[in-house]
C-alpha cells in the first residue's frame, strides 16, 4: 500500500507509520521530487532515506521533516525513530516550515485553480476531523455491520433528505462495497424538488415506507441526515427503535443545535437527531448551510460539503467492516466492478444470494 510523506497524510497513515518496526522500509510517495514520487514503482525506502535522496531543493533547505495530518497543516505529527533508517530521529517541523512545504507542493500542481485548492483544503480539513475524532464511533458502527453480515442479515441504509438520499444510492451494490446492503430509497428528486422538500417535513410516510422493506429486528440501519432535525429523520429514528433495529446515525450535532426549535421542518417532538434513539452516532462536521467557500459579491457560501463527507464516512464504516470480517476469517460479500474482466462469476453468486431479499436487487 502506498503511503504519503508530508501534507496529504491521513490519521491512518500516521498510525501505520508509528507501528512500523525499527528500520523497516515502507512504500510511499514524496510530493517534493520534481522527477516523480518515490515509491511510485513499488520501491520501498525509509522516510529518512527519502530525505537524503530527495532531489528537491525545498526539502534540502529544511532542517527537519514531519508527517502532517491536516492538509492546512494545523495538526503536525512527528516522525518517530522507528520509521527512520539507522535510528535517526527527524524533529517535528515548525508550522511555518510545514506551510512552506505545502506552498511548494501547491505551486507544482500546475493547472489547478486557487478555488479548487481552497475547496480541497476545506474538505480535507473536515475529513481529517472525522478521522481524528470519530474513529471509535466508526469502528463501533463497523463492528455492528460485520456482526450482521456474519449472521446473514441485511444492512439497511436510508438518507432522509433530498441529497442525503445520495448516501443510500452510494452504499448500494457499490464496487468494493458489501452486497448485503438494502437501500431504502426515500424522497426521490425526480418527483420534483418542491414536492420532495415538503415531504422532508412530514413524519407520516415513514412507517409505510419501512413496511415495504424486509426490515427485521436486530438488523442494522444507517440513517443519514446531516441537519438532523427534520420530521422525516426523527420519525425514521423512532420507527427504527420500535422495530428493534440497530441504528447507526450519521449527522451533524452542531447543525441541529443551531436550528430554531420552531423551524417548520422539525418533527412534532421538536427533537434533534442526537436526542432520538440510536446505538451509534457519528458526528459529521458539515457547517451550517452546507457550503464551504465565500466569495466577494456573493452573499451566500458555495461549494457543498455534505455529499463528500457522507460518502467518506459511509465507506469508512463499510471498509472497516470488511477488514474486521477478514480478521475473523469470514469471507465478506464484496462486489466487483462490472467493468473488470472477471466480475461475472463473483457478482452472479452475490445476486443469487441476495436477489430475493434486497428489494432493488
**Do the Cβ atoms of 13 and 4 come closer than 8 Å?**
yes
pLDDT of residue 83: 37
Question: Which value, to the nearest 10 degrees, does the dihedral of the CA atoms of residues 289, 294, 296, 300 take?
Answer: -10
CATH number of 131-354: 3.40.50.10490
Per-residue DSSP letter, 178: B
Q: Which three cell numbers stand for residue 196?
A: 420532495
**Do the Cβ atoms of 286 and 305 come closer than 8 Å?**
yes
- Cα separation, 328 vs 205, whole angstroms: 40
pLDDT of residue 114: 77
Mapping DSSP to helix (H, G, I), strand (E, B) and coil, where does residue 26 land?
strand
pTM as predicted: 0.70
pLDDT of residue 343: 79
Average pLDDT, the chain: 77
- Cα separation, 342 vs 165, whole angstroms: 30
C-alpha angle 167-172-176 in degrees, rounded to nearest 5: 105
Pinpoint the residues of the chain covered by CATH 3.40.50.10490.
Answer: 131-354
How many Cα atoms within 13 Å fall on the side-chain side of residue 313? 39
Strands annotated E in the chain: 3-5, 28-30, 67-68, 76-77, 155-159, 181-183, 220-224, 246-251, 280-283, 291-293, 302-304
For residue 45, list its beta bridge partners: 26
**Do the Cβ atoms of 215 and 245 come closer than 8 Å?**
yes
Residues of the chain with pLDDT under 50: 1-45, 55-99, 110-111
pLDDT tens, position by position, 69-112 = 223 333 333 333 233 333 333 333 434 444 455 555 555 554 45
Amino acid at each position: 500500500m502506498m503511503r504519503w510523506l508530508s501534507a496529504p497524510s491521513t490519521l491512518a497513515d500516521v498510525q501505520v507509520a508509528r507501528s512500523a518496526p525499527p528500520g523497516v522500509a515502507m512504500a510511499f510517495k514524496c510530493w517534493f521530487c520534481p522527477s516523480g514520487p518515490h515509491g511510485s514503482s513499488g520501491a520501498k525506502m525509509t522516510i529518512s532515506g527519502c530525505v537524503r535522496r530527495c532531489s528537491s531543493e525545498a526539502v534540502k533547505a529544511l532542517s527537519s521533516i514531519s508527517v502532517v495530518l491536516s492538509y492546512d497543516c494545523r495538526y503536525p505529527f512527528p516522525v518517530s525513530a522507528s520509521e527512520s533508517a539507522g535510528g535517526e530521529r527527524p524533529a517535528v517541523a515548525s508550522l511555518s516550515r510545514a506551510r512552506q512545504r505545502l506552498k511548494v507542493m501547491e505551486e507544482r500542481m500546475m493547472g489547478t485553480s486557487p478555488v479548487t485548492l481552497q475547496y480541497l483544503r476545506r474538505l480535507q480539513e473536515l475529513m481529517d476531523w472525522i478521522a481524528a475524532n470519530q474513529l471509535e464511533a466508526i469502528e463501533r458502527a463497523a463492528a455492528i455491520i460485520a456482526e450482521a453480515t456474519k449472521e446473514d442479515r441485511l444492512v439497511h441504509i436510508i438518507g432522509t433528505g433530498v441529497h442525503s438520499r445520495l448516501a443510500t444510492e452510494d452504499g448500494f451494490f457499490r464496487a468494493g462495497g458489501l452486497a448485503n446492503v438494502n437501500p431504502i430509497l426515500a424522497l426521490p428528486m425526480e418527483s420534483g424538488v418542491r414536492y420532495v422538500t415538503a415531504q422532508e417535513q412530514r413524519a407520516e410516510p415513514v412507517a409505510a415506507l419501512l413496511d415495504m422493506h424486509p426490515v427485521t429486528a436486530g438488523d442494522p440501519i444507517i440513517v443519514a441526515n446531516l441537519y438532523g432535525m427534520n420530521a422525516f429523520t426523527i420519525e425514521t429514528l423512532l420507527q427504527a427503535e420500535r422495530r428493534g433495529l440497530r441504528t447507526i446515525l450519521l449527522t451533524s450535532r452542531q447543525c441541529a443545535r443551531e436550528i430554531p426549535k420552531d423551524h417548520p421542518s422539525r418533527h412534532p417532538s421538536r427533537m434533534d437527531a442526537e436526542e432520538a434513539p440510536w446505538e451509534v452516532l457519528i458526528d459529521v462536521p458539515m457547517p451550517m448551510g452546507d457550503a464551504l467557500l465565500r466569495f466577494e459579491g456573493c452573499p451566500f457560501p458555495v461549494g457543498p460539503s455534505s455529499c463528500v463527507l457522507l460518502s467518506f464516512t459511509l465507506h469508512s464504516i463499510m471498509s472497516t467492516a470488511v477488514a474486521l470480517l477478514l480478521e475473523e476469517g469470514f469471507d465478506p460479500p464484496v462486489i466487483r466492478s462490472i467493468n473488470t474482466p472477471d466480475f461475472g462469476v463473483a457478482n452472479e453468486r452475490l445476486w443469487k444470494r441476495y436477489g430475493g431479499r434486497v428489494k432493488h436487487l
